[in-house]
């Protein structure tokens, strides 16, 4: 059983992947890798990784984040990161990976970075979250 749970929320042309658990060597990294490969195969071009629920990450997990970013770029897409925990922020600063990614603390800003001026997708996501609760 994987320690990483990935839920997807598609709003317009933006795919938000909410991650919960650890991104570590083993199943967590494999699950993230396979999810990104599937996203690319499905033609996704705008992906946000919400790391708010990430409880831990190791060097393999950091490598998967870099690989996901590189794969998206190589295939004409873009990947943004949302809600880094303090620990992940610290690790990304130490490894200088923080400069590679567009990182956001606010979901609205992350979504607007793909579609400047558009706020409708956020309204739809908030509505979907309420309906799921």
Residue 84's pLDDT is what? 95
Q: What is the DSSP string of 76-113?
A: T-EEEEE---HHHHHHHHHTTGGGTSEEES-HHHHHHH
**Structural domain of residue 121, as residue ranges?**
4-132
Euclidean distance between CA atoms 19 and 11, whole angstroms: 17
Beta strand 4-11 with 14-23 is antiparallel
- DSSP code of residue 115: S
Q: Which tokens belong to 93?
A: 């600063």
Average pLDDT score, the chain? 89
- DSSP code of residue 31: H
Task: Tell me how crowded residue 73 is: count the other CB atoms within 10 A of its CB.
Answer: 11
Residue 127's pLDDT is what? 59
- DSSP code of residue 133: -
Euclidean distance between CA atoms 22 and 4, whole angstroms: 5
Task: Tell me how crowded residue 32 is: count the other CB atoms within 10 A of its CB.
Answer: 22
pLDDT in tens, 32-87: 999 999 999 999 999 999 999 999 999 999 999 999 999 999 999 999 999 999 98
Q: How many domains does the chain have?
A: 1
Which pTM was predicted?
0.85
Can you count the helices (H) and strands (E) in the chain?
5, 5
Domain holding 62: CATH number? 3.30.750.24
Cβ atoms of residues 115 and 121 within 8 Å:
yes
């Amino acid at each position: 059983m994987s320690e990483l749970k990935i839920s997807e929320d598609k709003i317009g042309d933006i795919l938000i992947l909410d991650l919960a658990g650890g991104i570590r060597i083993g199943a967590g990294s494999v699950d993230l890798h396979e999810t990104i490969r599937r996203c690319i195969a499905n033609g996704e071009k705008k992906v946000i990784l919400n790391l708010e629920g990430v409880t831990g990450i190791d060097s393999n997990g950091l490598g998967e984040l870099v690989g996901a970013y590189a794969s998206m770029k190589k295939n004409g897409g873009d990947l943004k990161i949302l809600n880094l925990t303090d620990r992940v922020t610290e690790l990304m600063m130490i490894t200088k990976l923080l400069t590679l990614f567009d990182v956001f603390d606010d979901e609205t800003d992350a979504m607007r970075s793909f579609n400047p001026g558009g706020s409708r997708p956020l309204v739809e996501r908030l509505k979907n979250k309420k309906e799921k609760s």
